Amino acid sequence: MDVLRAFNLRRTAQTDRADARQRRNAAGGYAFTLDDAARLRRFLVLGVDGGTYYTAPQALAKDNVAVVARMAETDPEGLVRTIVEASTGGVAPNQRPALFALAYAAALPQSSQLALAALPQVARTGTHLFWFAEYVEQFRGWGRGLRRAVADWYVAKDADAVAYQAVKYRQRDGWSHRDLLRLAHPVADAPELADTFAWIVQGALGDHVPAYVEGYVKAQDASDAGTWAALVRDYRLTWEMLPDAALTERAVWDALLDVGLPQTALMRQLPRLTRLGMLPDVGGRTDEVVGRLTDATRLRKARVHPVNVLVAQRTYARGQSARGDGVWTPSRKVTDALDAAFYAAFGAVEPSGTRTLLALDVSGSMTAPISGLPLSAREASAALALVQLATEPSATAVGFASTGGSWSRSAVLTPLRISPRQRLDDALRVVDQMPFGGTDCALPMVHAIERELEVDTFVVYTDNETWAGRVHPHQALVDYRRHSGIDAKLVVVGMTATRFSIADPTDAGMLDVVGFDAAVPTLITEFARGL
């Protein structure tokens, strides 16, 4: 045997380094590493709750916090700008990572002033402000700059806006508006705002308290459905402003729907509305609710993230809460409306018109949860693939894993029997039932070579913990280009907040994007078209 034949610059086993820029990933393979700007965006979109298959949540968090610290030192403007863009752009399903990063930046001298100036843009609700307060105490004390920033958060609003925040988002994580006002000592110029602050801190009802406060106080004193419903209509109260007893009354929910239940609240309350008999298959408030759920303008204005629609759809279609403390019979119309809302939440996506192979990594490591939600990276990949299938007329989808050894003998690469015409929960169940295996992200390109497939764009959804193949993914793409004569592109959709990517950063035909960034489908089609 000629041992020198084992050294090959074109085909390298994934457990060996194929490029000096590669580093060993958690699975023992080698992959390229992202720069800090790309890693920050992964963290802000995907978070670290639940960790990954190979990395515990605390270790993954520590790794990403180091990214925030380095960017605060080297590029504080870029750090804060990215945090604001991720938060205001609605690209992340959870605001906690953005608020954590902003709190960390607010504690460092290089970025503190920028971070505190951005507080109103990132902390848009009382709950956001409470989360920020909890995080910021982990890094610094309540100095003058922090107190002033929190005070400005309140005094920049009019009395009605502050009252709305005070009675809707009353407390979270041990914090309340009273706590923050006592720390920040904001000075109110207008009597309405001064009376609002006095009510929050002391419970005193002055002559100038806003209507929201009056309505909230009356609702706490009421005891019958008719009074609560009238107060909702008269004062435009939201469900969070009502006592628990009111939320068991159908008449109250009729009133809440009449005044306009916000989009996110509407999705969360669908099980309750169904249990109260308000969403039958025929009649009731069903058609009205369906129209609101599928309204693309409402979805966009409310910054509803697609993954939250997906979670709502799966929960509702299951007919039972995750805690098992609530059961309902799902309405077919509502379930279908949530399906439609999922696609609408991504906005209008123009097809690229290219021949596209969507390749989902269904290996064992993709069973890790995504963003701390009841959703695996496997399932999230399938949901994203459904959006591309609905957009691209020439797209096909496969799932891949490896059981070790040569790909031709032991690879698991199976056409995915999923379609946007299926219900979301049914399509995701198909992926759930696929066999597990090792991660070999070269398989889609190797498969295309073997089958003589004509592919313009490979889209690989993966955690980038590839290790099982005898050729690296970027090498396999070069092989495919050479073999087919097609200048094919590769889009890598990263599904966990690790530092790795199978995409060669120096190859203009490869792109790394963050999974479940709401802009991903558009980014993919624009890249495929060469924009």
Q: Where are the alpha helices (DSSP H) in 2-49?
A: 36-46
> For residue 104, which of 58, 160, 66, 53 has the smallest C-alpha distance?
66
Decide if 246 is inside a domain. Answer: no
Q: Tell me the C-alpha distance between 301 and 294, whole Å.
A: 13
pLDDT at 433: 84
440 with 367, same domain?
yes
344 with 356, same domain?
no
Given 332, 348, 364, the domain boundary residue is 348
Statement: residue 406 has pLDDT above 50: no
DSSP 240-290: GGS-GGGGG-HHHHHHHHHH---HHHHHHTHHHHHHTT---SSSTTHHHHH
**Does the reported pTM lie above 0.85?**
yes
359 with 338, same domain?
no
Q: Check residue 369 and report its DSSP letter.
A: B
Total count of domains within the chain: 3
Statement: residue 197 has pLDDT above 80: yes
Which CATH number fits the domain that encloses residue 371? 3.40.50.410
Q: Are strands 500-501 and 30-33 parallel, antiparallel or unpaired?
A: antiparallel
Decide if 520 is inside a domain. Answer: yes
Helix (H, G, I), strand (E, B) or coil at 279: coil
Given 301, 324, 348, the domain boundary residue is 348
Decide if 277 is inside a domain. Answer: yes
89 with 150, same domain?
yes
User: Which of 122-126, 295-299, 349-353 tops mean pLDDT?
Assistant: 122-126
Decide if 484 is inside a domain. Answer: yes
Statement: residue 264 has pLDDT above 70: yes
Statement: residue 9 has pLDDT above 90: no
Decide if 13 is inside a domain. Answer: no
Decide if 244 is inside a domain. Answer: no
Decide if 235 is inside a domain. Answer: no
Please write the tens of the pLDDT for every residue from 205-240.
999 999 999 999 999 999 999 999 999 999 999 999
Given 329, 348, 367, the domain boundary residue is 348
507 with 388, same domain?
yes
Amino acid present at 45: V
104 with 131, same domain?
yes
DSSP 461-480: EE-S---S-SS-HHHHHHHH
Confidence of residue 290 (pLDDT cuts 50, 70, 90): very high
274 with 204, same domain?
no
393 with 512, same domain?
yes
Decide if 392 is inside a domain. Answer: yes
507 with 427, same domain?
yes
274 with 374, same domain?
no
Q: Looking at residues 290-309, what average pLDDT do you find?
A: 93
With 0-12 / 13-18 / 19 or more C-beta atoms within 10 angstroms meaning exposed / middle / buried, residue 364 is middle
272 with 390, same domain?
no
106 with 130, same domain?
yes
Range of the domain at 321: 262-348
> For residue 293, which of 317, 325, 261 has the smallest C-alpha distance?
261
